[in-house]
Structure 1
Amino acid sequence: MENRFSSNLLVMFFLPLLIQLCATSEYTRPSPRQLIFRAHNRSDSEPQQVHVSLAGNDYMRVSWITSDKHVKSIVEYGKSQGKYESSATGESSSYHYFFYSSGEIHHVKIGPLEPSTTYYYRCGGAGPEFSFRTPPSTFPIEFAVVGDLGQTEWTASTLEHVGLKDYDVFLLPGDLSYADSQQPLWDSFGRLVEPYASTRPWMVTEGNHEIESFPIIYPRGFKAYNARWLMPHQESGSKSNLYYSFDVAGTHIIMLGSYTDFDSDSDQYKWLQADLANVDRKKTPWVIVLLHAPWYNSNQAHRGEGESMRQAMEELLYKARVDVVFAGHVHAYERFTRVYDNNANSCGPVYITIGDGGNREGLAMK
């Protein structure tokens, strides 16, 4: 475990909050800002809401939406602008939610790709050119971590800060769009984040605002989330898009689902147990976990909501010597010392709450 404090891994926590170093003054954050709605301004056949994600070793998944249902799920890509030496085809689908009908949602897995390389790509055989940079294969690597992002003016400010950094992978521990069953807000969110999510891999897990269940009609929930934000669950042996893992540059990252079964008889528990058993700390000396509802929380907001999951799964993380656990849900920043079973423990993970990326509900101040 000599590498647990290695400076080779840098994680940036983005909060639209100024931390003042003067102990005699306080910072008062203004009230929540207004919702930003991004309208569709491209042709029906052109890609919109483009985002990329890691999809196994040396592969990326390109996802986008078209209003035209007949656009092919094809991505052309190459290392030079306008020159596409390779192409790949994928699949598309759509969904209905009450009176809402989504556009055609495309997912295409491309690769193998070289590390630390900029690729230029085009979706559906037409439309604008995009580019992304693949993560490095070895240290150093830099992550940006933002929870509870939303789509307000604060969100735009947070994303501007993120965009100024030369990070490698974006991590989001739940609560993406805050659509809350208003499906057009999913589309608006996809357009808002496209300038960032199309250039670096975005790896996300679900929060409570992604559930969108409705008795009898949509009892299982997560219909929009699963359709739009396909993550590499199959590549990591998971049966559900709500939890998965991936490796990147000496780091094993586990995305857990706070809102699906997690007790010792559940598929998620058994998958996590097997996933942790397969971690090779010589290849991935860092192990990081993300989930939505924090297991440790001194804020009055959402107190105790992650407790049952902690009781079920904490021992697995402790025995595997997980380094850091990031959570959202609570709209504040908090960092704990290394903890296990409610006590300071030098072998436990550091727990960090990073839950105020720009949501419409404001800060949890108590």
Structure 2
Amino acid sequence: MMRRLWAILCITAIALVSVRPARTMPADVQVRRDVDLFHSFGRYLREKLVHGREVVFDRPLVQFFQRASTQGEWFKHVLKGLEGYFPFDPNLSGQLSLFFSALVEGTWFEPQNNGTCQCCDPSNPLYAYHVHIGMTGNAGEVVISYNTQEKPPQSCLYVAEEHTSNQTKFCTEDVRTTSLGSGLSPFLCTGWSGYASHVKVNGLQPGKRYTYTIPGSPGNVSYTFMAPYGNTTKTTKLAYFTDIGTKGGEPVINTLLSRLDDFDYMIMPGDQSYCDGYHGCFDAYMKLIQPLAAQKPYMVATGNHEGPWNFSYVRTNFYFPVSESGAAPDALWYSFDEGPIHFVMMNYENYFDYPDGEWSMTQPAPISTYPGQIEWLRRDLEAFAKRREHDPSLWLIMMAHRPLTCNVTDKSCNHFGPILEQDVFPLMYEYKADMYWCGHVHAYERVSPINNVTRELCSDCVRDNATLYYKPPYPVQIMNGIAGRAVADNDYFTPGVSYPPFVAQHYSSINYPYGGYALVSVDNNVLNFTLYNTSGAVLDHFRIEK
């Protein structure tokens, strides 16, 4: 029975693949037919296999399908299975392998009929989409970013104290756009059109709530937010997550929307959408997170899934406070202060292996690879160290997308981690970083303070069954890559296996398909860290006392 059904699938795949247009066909026709191929494939599979999938797939795949709710997950594994049984045309097969992760997140997203990605609604070209707030590290200052289909005559918005009508007008000349280059064309669209405006709003009173309004047609867009404190307060509270995904990120996004009083801003060290350069899919992610990111500042670092097309989407649509933190204008690293914490965002994603405008996935490299990054980092940490001499209660949290010390059977831990450590650990130790945050590996792991050379645990600072770190001399490392439901397909930690004594807690994403996020609070000399899943369960909790 299994062979007969697989034969039917393969014959169908041949028929479907045979309708793929030649590469010389106009791009819009090619895209429409590629999309039609997947839609036809999906309809066939749903009709023929939905009642007999236990006959076709082995039990682990059946269990995976039952956990996954997105159409993309179904396609992903069916296509992988078919590729193993039937050799697709090499060109199609190669593009499918690049398309898998975007397919997971993007099959529910319908491209425009002309086969191009348009950021917004062409019939309302000046209406604001993908609205989100960023911080600069200065007290009472934010940057409000948004997309429009056409370039506005003036990129302006209006800000007033909440429940008042006395508005102040803020405008910007920082309006950006991008175009995709001559590399491999994405399936979902052949280009991208739109403009990103970044309006700096300053002179606000820290801690006070304000309402901003972005004028447009057919209507205005308004949200309320709290002005950040910068480094003018000794307390702060935030949400931290990474590897969230688009459709798969909805549970975490919706949960955070229900807990708005529990955090003031969000930290996201990379892999926001899993769209791999498919800009229309990234737009869909921004629509999902807008209700959250338009009222809570959203600070991001770059991950490997932001890399294709030379990080063009994040470079265009996000404001990184590089000038405020002394970095180069095109840097993918920066720092900022909020409350008593100095946050340092680093970048390991190597974008030198391909020219601007080419599609390529990034690979990690030490921070010394990137001109100016390690020099900037040392200057930044030196300036912070001088401030902390006068105020020892200040905190230093450094982060990047990829892990340093981690303990799963994966090249990110076994191969790349030790390479990346060589530049970062000496600086973290010299400048007494309190924590290192990352993601990338789709699991959660907490590593207690260790000497990176000897790997010895700081036994005298670990107390109360590793729920308290008292005056640790080394940073606590957190790998939190379980925010997305659609990436919950990795079972890294094997029950019964003995891990090093410095591994305080770990979870595989496969066991928590509803997403995980952390809420972090600091009050003077005490930091509290709690990891939740979206069912409300507490997965991990600890505190650090200086």
- TM-score tier (shorter): 0.7 to 0.9
1:8 paired residue number: none
Q: Does 1:60 align with 2:165?
A: no
Structure number with larger C-alpha Rg = 2
**Which of 123, 128, 139 pairs up with 2:234?**
139
> Per-residue CA shift, 1:250-307, capped at 9, x if unaligned?
1101011121461288411011101000011217611111211100111223323232
Asked whether the equivalents of residues 162 and 224 of structure 2 are also in contact (C-alpha less than 8 Å), the reply is no
Q: Does 1:292 align with 2:401?
A: yes
Q: Does 1:317 align with 2:428?
A: yes
> Per-residue CA shift, 1:18-45, capped at 9, x if unaligned?
xxxxxxxxxx997344237578578322
1:49 paired residue number: 130
1:164 paired residue number: 258
Alignment of 1:107-186 (within 5 A): 107-124=198-215, 127-136=220-229, 137-152=232-247, 154-165=248-259, 166=261, 167-186=263-282
Cα RMSD of the aligned pairs, angstroms, is 2.3
The amino acid across from 2:221 in the alignment is P
Q: Which moved more, 1:141-150 or 1:238-247?
A: 238-247
Structure holding more helix per residue: 2
d(CA) in 1 for partners of 2:157 and 2:137? 17
**Which of 85, 88, 93 pairs up with 2:167?**
85
> Per-residue CA shift, 1:156-197, capped at 9, x if unaligned?
111122222220110001101111121101111111110000
d(CA) in 1 for partners of 2:487 and 2:303? 15
Q: Does 1:268 align with 2:364?
A: no
The amino acid across from 1:66 in the alignment is T
**Which of 227, 234, 252 pairs up with 2:323?**
234
Alignment of 1:272-351 (within 5 A): 272-279=377-384, 280-281=387-388, 282=391, 285-301=394-410, 302-303=412-413, 304-341=415-452, 342-345=455-458, 346-351=472-477
> Per-residue CA shift, 1:209-268, capped at 9, x if unaligned?
01104xxxxxxx111111111211111001144110001111101011121461288411
The amino acid across from 2:239 in the alignment is A
d(CA) in 2 for partners of 1:200 and 1:55? 14
Distance 1:359 1:272, change over 3 A: farther
> Per-residue CA shift, 1:129-177, capped at 9, x if unaligned?
111112344132111001111112x411111222222201100011011
d(CA) in 2 for partners of 1:79 and 1:48? 23
The amino acid across from 1:113 in the alignment is L
Q: Which has the higher contact order (CA 8 A, sep 6+)?
A: 1
> Per-residue CA shift, 1:101-153, capped at 9, x if unaligned?
2311111111121111111011246612111112344132111001111112x
Alignment of 1:69-80 (within 5 A): 69-80=151-162
Consecutive unaligned residues of structure 2, counting only runs of 5 or more, are 1-62, 71-104, 111-119, 182-189, 351-365, 459-471, 493-546
The amino acid across from 1:120 in the alignment is T
The amino acid across from 2:457 in the alignment is A
Distance 1:201 1:283, change over 3 A: farther
1:31 paired residue number: 67
d(CA) in 1 for partners of 2:157 and 2:133? 12
Distance 1:109 1:356, change over 3 A: same
d(CA) in 2 for partners of 1:257 and 1:359? 25
Give SS of 1:305's match. Answer: helix
> Per-residue CA shift, 1:296-328, capped at 9, x if unaligned?
111223323232221112101111110011111
Q: Which moved more, 1:252-261 or 1:308-317?
A: 252-261
**Which of 340, 355, 358 pairs up with 2:484?**
358
Consecutive unaligned residues of structure 1, counting only runs of 5 or more, are 1-27, 214-220
Distance 1:132 1:352, change over 3 A: same
The amino acid across from 1:224 in the alignment is Y
d(CA) in 1 for partners of 2:416 and 2:485? 19
Give SS of 2:406's match. Answer: coil
Distance 1:276 1:60, change over 3 A: same
Give SS of 1:83's match. Answer: coil
Asked whether the equivalents of residues 263 and 309 of structure 1 are also in contact (C-alpha less than 8 Å), the reply is no
Distance 1:87 1:284, change over 3 A: farther
Give SS of 2:367's match. Answer: coil
The amino acid across from 1:253 in the alignment is F
When the two structures are superposed, what TM-score results if normalisation uses the length of structure 2? 0.57
Give SS of 2:403's match. Answer: coil
Distance 1:198 1:241, change over 3 A: farther
Distance 1:363 1:56, change over 3 A: same
d(CA) in 2 for partners of 1:106 and 1:124? 13
Count of aligned pairs = 331
